[in-house]
A and B are shown apart, each in its own frame.
Chain A
């Protein structure tokens, strides 16, 4: 049960996701049990009916993604939670949500993969799955918390972004952030910013469900509200009717991208820690960023001008922010629990203007402060 806002509590990351979802107005959850995300489903099963919401454990991951989309179309803010193997199964319908522009949030508490891997060990191996997991070109928003409080805040933000831009939003957690407990003070409900999806401003006869406003986002009518229209994963015109017209297909896909990439100022966020005068920097996210922050502090104590750039929005990738960093530092250390999924993005953005060094761990163990610190000490001579 939730305690009052404003009171300090010991809370798990997965629990904070539930609190964030409820605060953001989520009233539907469909899921399937999978370690290490299961606590989210368990708590949702307990909490949702208490606020008039609906919980269902579906027959599989595919079905839970489908049910979430159905519920969202019927007007409820909807969320699901899973881990790598389940995330793979959900990809088909995540693509459907992107194409049909149905707001929804998918929480992926990452564990060691591929395949069943080590269900209880942390990893960050789904960075690229989050970006490219479903087929076809599609934009995606993925957010990456590194503390329990941030799991709350980013769940709220994920729900808000999903509703605002009519997209599936991925909350890319990891096992450490999902399972660790921290002292957390949650904000009172009135201080939580909650975004509602845009409703049609015209009578049903004049409604084009896929005619965008100037921001690229079409207002969304819920099923049952009197606006009868067609929703499909096929390429569709502004009425929602299927078509194979090459011009319509191209314009649709470009608009789906524009509605995200034209709003990067709103969608992108990074944390900059001690970067003002930094000569060397770490790029890290999720649980690894916690060790990175400590390593930066210790480097400073040892006389090294180090800093941390932490992508909070991991997709779209904060390219401009990394490029700007590359102009000021000699070395960028990328620390992540995979074999270099984000490092390749960082290298692309750095474009040779600084040295890039990766610290990659795929043993299911965390990257230590000492390892990051050691990398920060090894500034290349000619960088």
Chain B
């Protein structure tokens, strides 16, 4: 397994930019293991990313990699996938990247049900710029731009994706790295827009300011606060209040956009004859 991961890294790019205790490497590792399990041809695999700490992941991977502009990864990926549907396209984004500046692209990729697998690194913070609140920062948490505690409510990425039309929605944490890998595999196998939210720790810009401890302690927090879909079904909303529900959250059938477009092209070609 480790060899698989290493074989898909651009060795000359290491060491990476991430801080000690950061969870991004765990997500990257789960992604690579998933790509190997899926048997994707590296030449036909594309990894698109936005801007932020997590989006640097694309550059470390030995696939066709595209590090785009802030929030726009899904829009670039839409162009790639529509132009060349035979490519397998993964899109890596941070929580602010995907749901603040990229929120419009996120809901419309879901609405189209375009065959992209989006992995959202949710660390509840803008890490690269030093710890400002994102749409995923919980109420009352401290950030550099919420020095008295955060006043706004957070998004639920999974509910957002589901409401907008995504056909596969799942969540795991970096503590549950095996599950995360399995969910990415299942998401990539879904012919449509798939969203996998990966809860990951930023001890430097989020944990420190909120006294959540180091990377290990934040991982253990994930372990202690995660409940499976099955467990959650038996719990009251009150019991679920500070819990993270992990596993496959939603799955649906819907026409996939690029396939529908290909059908149109074929239908028109038939008519021409």
Where the two chains meet, the residues of A that have a C-beta atom closer than 8 Å to any C-beta of B are: 27-28, 30, 49-50, 52, 54, 56, 58-60, 62-64, 66-76, 78, 92-93, 96, 223-226, 228-234, 239, 241-242
Contact flag A231-B67 (CB < 8 Å), given A49-B261, A49-B264, A49-B268? yes
Q: Using Cβ atoms and an 8 Å threshold, which residues of chain B touch A78? A: 79, 83
Min CB–CB distance A24 → chain B (angstroms): 16
Q: Which of B59, B264, B272 contacts A241 (CB 8 A)?
A: B59
Q: Which of B46, B63, B69 contacts A66 (CB 8 A)?
A: B69
Min CB–CB distance A29 → chain B (angstroms): 10
Q: Which of B59, B77, B78 contacts A56 (CB 8 A)?
A: B78
Q: Does B154 contact A (CB under 8 A)?
A: no
Q: Does B42 contact A (CB under 8 A)?
A: yes
Most buried by B among A50, A52, A56, A239: A56
List 11 contacting pairs A-B, 8 Å CB cutoff, sorted by A.
A49-B264, A52-B269, A68-B79, A69-B79, A70-B75, A71-B82, A73-B79, A78-B83, A224-B87, A228-B64, A233-B68
Q: Using Cβ atoms and an 8 Å threshold, which residues of chain B touch A92? A: 69, 72
Could you tell me the distance between the alpha carbons of A239 and B13 in the complex, rounded to whole angstroms? 11
Q: How many residue pairs between the two chains, A and B, have CB atoms under 8 Å in the bound complex?
A: 136
Contact flag A60-B69 (CB < 8 Å), given A30-B79, A71-B83? no
Could you tell me the distance between the alpha carbons of A30 and B107 in the complex, rounded to whole angstroms? 18
Contact flag A230-B59 (CB < 8 Å), given A49-B261, A50-B272, A71-B82? yes
Could you tell me the distance between the alpha carbons of A295 and B188 in the complex, rounded to whole angstroms? 64
Contact B84 A74 (CB under 8 A): yes
Within 8 A of A (CB), among B250-273: 261, 264-265, 268-269, 272
Chain B interface main SS type:
helix
Contact flag A223-B67 (CB < 8 Å), given A63-B75, A71-B83? no
Q: Using Cβ atoms and an 8 Å threshold, which residues of chain A touch B42? A: 228
Could you tell me the distance between the alpha carbons of A45 and B172 in the complex, rounded to whole angstroms? 40
Q: Considering only CB atoms and an 8 Å cut-off, how many residues of chain B contact the other chain?
A: 41
Q: Does B243 contact A (CB under 8 A)?
A: no
Min CB–CB distance A367 → chain B (angstroms): 38
Contact flag A223-B12 (CB < 8 Å), given A67-B82, A69-B79, A70-B79? no
Contact A58 B69 (CB under 8 A): no
Q: Apart from A93-B69, A233-B68, what 10 extra A-B contacts exist at CB < 8 Å?
A: A49-B268, A63-B104, A66-B78, A70-B76, A74-B79, A74-B84, A74-B87, A223-B87, A230-B65, A234-B67
Q: Which of A49, A64, A223 contacts B84 (CB 8 A)?
A: A223
Q: Using Cβ atoms and an 8 Å threshold, which residues of chain B touch A60? A: 104
Q: Which of A50, A224, A239 contacts B268 (CB 8 A)?
A: A50
